[in-house]
């Protein structure tokens, strides 16, 4: 119930206005978000890669409804990628793109064209692009765009969310040679007809999907902070004789940083999802919805500033 309430609040302009103007919010937001500018993103990327971690950068902003804004969002990514290339970070940092910020909700062809431009910039920078998965209603559209992009950019990554009932099916379809697949639990609301609503069922689905991906010939990117799932992932890597460079763990910036460094120190590839930008509110609320510990941390911050 709490998770659903927070996800509903992520779309509330009223709650958004309160949090955006409240003085206590900034410290908590900075826990999960690198800043608002490319310079902020570059600074955090340099710090993380200097510690042996990999990075994927997300420019915050979604549900774009105008062509001009969508093209502006794409141009921002292109400038970010130019910065990554100029810094020589192409082998350590990639970008994550939400297609709704590229115009997907009103023009799929526009979103494809904008994503294509970003992929070209990523290739020039010596890095890659992963397309985030968003609302359950956009899954088919996102997969269509991925398949089209992979004709020219076979290293384009895609996200599969284990809370969706078709997740295992999608993983089986995508577990082929060279296919980069990020598996996460999912942080959006969806009806029970298409999604598991019980946490245990979502976790079981995550394990089933991991088994498919780790047994396949693609490149799994396992996005979880759950110690049990990380342990299972390690066991699957041994079972399928996977080298450390044939898959990676992914975690969010600001969540379990010690675990990120512990895994990296053991030789695992660990990529940190770093979000930045002014449109932080929906992303921030989904982070609260994902883990009760995040909400408790936020409420302690609120109590301390009241």
pLDDT digits (tens, 9 = 90+) for 217-252: 999 999 999 999 999 999 999 999 999 999 999 999
What is the CA angle 212-218-223, rounded to 5? 70
Work out the average pLDDT over 202-222.
98
pLDDT for 124 beyond 80: yes
Confidence of residue 61 (pLDDT cuts 50, 70, 90): confident
Q: Which of 132, 155, 271, 286 is catalytic?
A: 132
The rounded distance, in Å, linking the Cα atoms of 293 and 290 is 9
The answer on pLDDT for 8 being more than 60 is no
Amino acid 278: pLDDT: 78
Q: For residue 302, what pLDDT band results from cuts at 50, 70 and 90?
A: very low
State what percent of residues in the chain have pLDDT above 70.
82
Q: For residue 79, is pLDDT > 50?
A: yes
Helical segments of the chain, H only: 2-9, 13-21, 25-32, 38-50, 67-86, 108-125, 139-149, 167-174, 199-215, 227-239, 257-265, 281-290, 292-305
For strand 129-131 and strand 157-161, is the pairing parallel, antiparallel, or unpaired? parallel
Q: Single out the catalytic residue among 182, 271, 286, 287.
A: 182
For residue 133, which of 107, 99, 167 has the smallest C-alpha distance?
A: 99
Q: What is the mean pLDDT of residues 129-133?
A: 97
Q: Are 164 and 195 in contact (CB under 8 A)?
A: yes
Q: Per-residue pLDDT for 121 more than 80?
A: yes
Give mean pLDDT, residues 75-82: 97
Active site residue 132: yes
Q: What is the mean pLDDT of residues 292-301?
A: 52
Average pLDDT, the chain: 88
Residue 100's pLDDT is 95
- 140 catalytic, yes or no? no
């Amino acid at each position: 119930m709490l998770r659903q309430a927070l996800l509903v609040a992520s779309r509330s302009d009223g709650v958004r206005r309160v949090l955006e103007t409240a003085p206590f919010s900034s410290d908590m937001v900075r826990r999960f978000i690198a800043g608002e500018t490319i310079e902020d993103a570059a600074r955090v990327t340099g710090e993380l890669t200097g510690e042996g971690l990999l990075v994927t950068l997300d420019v915050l902003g979604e549900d774009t409804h105008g062509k001009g804004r969508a093209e502006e969002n794409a141009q921002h990514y292109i400038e970010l990628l130019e910065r990554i290339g100029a810094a020589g970070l192409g082998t350590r940092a990639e970008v994550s793109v939400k297609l709704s910020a590229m115009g997907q909700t009103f023009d799929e062809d526009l979103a494809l064209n904008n994503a294509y431009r970003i992929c070209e910039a990523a290739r020039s920078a010596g890095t890659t692009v992963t397309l985030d998965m968003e609302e359950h209603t956009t899954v088919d559209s996102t997969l269509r765009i991925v398949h089209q992009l992979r004709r020219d950019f076979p290293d384009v990554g895609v996200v599969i969310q284990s809370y969706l009932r078709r997740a295992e099916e999608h993983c089986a379809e995508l577990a082929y040679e060279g296919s980069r697949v990020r598996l996460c639990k999912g942080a959006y609301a969806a009806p029970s007809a298409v999604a598991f609503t019980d946490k245990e069922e979502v976790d079981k689905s995550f394990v089933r999907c991991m088994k498919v991906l780790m047994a396949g010939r693609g490149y799994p990117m396992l996005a979880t902070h759950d110690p049990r799932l990380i342990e299972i992932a390690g066991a699957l890597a041994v079972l399928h004789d996977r080298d450390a460079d044939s898959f990676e763990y992914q975690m969010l910036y600001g969540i379990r940083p010690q675990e990120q460094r512990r895994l990296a120190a053991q030789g695992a590839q660990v990529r940190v999802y770093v979000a930045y930008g002014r449109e932080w509110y929906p992303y921030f609320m989904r982070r609260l919805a994902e883990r009760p510990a995040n909400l408790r941390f936020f409420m302690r911050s609120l109590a301390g500033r009241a």
